Amino acid sequence: MNNKSNPTILKKPVWWLSVLILSVFVMAGCQPAAAPSPAPAVTSAPEAASTPTSPAAPSASPTPAAAAEAIVNVATDAKLGQILVDGKGMTLYMFTKDGPDQSNCSGDCLKAWPPLLTLGKPTLGEGVDPALVGTATLADGSMIVTYNKMPLYYWYKDTQPGDTTGQGNKDVWYVVSPDGNSVGN
């Protein structure tokens, strides 16, 4: 028999191929949908007592990811006098190597000295001079709160409100007074 003379024989492979492809699509459509993977759990930052080679944000202060509107207050320290703190009483520091509205702290520095971040205008407590409060943009695009044009940071070893263990660190980190100057520098 000649294949050219019988058109049915030529159409059979095409027909079976069409049925096979259609079957694959139907079978794929009948498979149960994959369950969506759950969102990753939000965990808090590890305590500062972890390893000194990988410092974490202070436990009582917000982590950068949790920043919303920062709060700046004034507290009185027995040795240092009036100093700036956040809304939870965690001490805020300035880095004397920063420039006006510019952070020069990055990488491991930011791990040890997490920035006071904000998503909007910081909330100010009594004794905080609103004319001295501002923001600057970090390399990652987040906004750090500034006071007297100096970016504000936490010290990872301060674990309780009122701790000032970063004061004078390497002669470049100091707590900030409400007048906008570093204390003890």
9-32 pLDDT tens trace: 555 555 445 544 545 444 444 444
pLDDT (tens digit, 9 = 90+) per residue, 90-125?
999 999 999 999 999 999 999 999 999 999 899 999
> Residue 136 forms beta bridges with which residues?
144
C-beta of residue 122 within 8 angstroms of C-beta of residue 73: no
pLDDT (0 to 100) of residue 58: 44
Average pLDDT for residues 71-79, to the nearest whole number? 97
Say which residue the tokens 């019988």 belong to.
6
- Please check the confidence at residue 126 and state whether its pLDDT lies above 80: yes
Rounded CA gap, 79 and 175, in Å? Answer: 12
Q: Are 118 and 71 in contact (CB under 8 A)?
A: no
Q: Which residues lie closer than 8 Å to 22 by C-beta, 6 or more apart? A: none
Where are the chain's structural domains? 64-175
The whole-angstrom separation of Cα 79 and Cα 107 is 31
Phi-psi group of 34: left, alpha or beta (phi > 0 → left; psi -120 to 50 → alpha; rest → beta)? beta
Which residues have a Cβ under 8 Å from the Cβ of 63 and sit 6 or more positions away?
44, 45, 57, 114
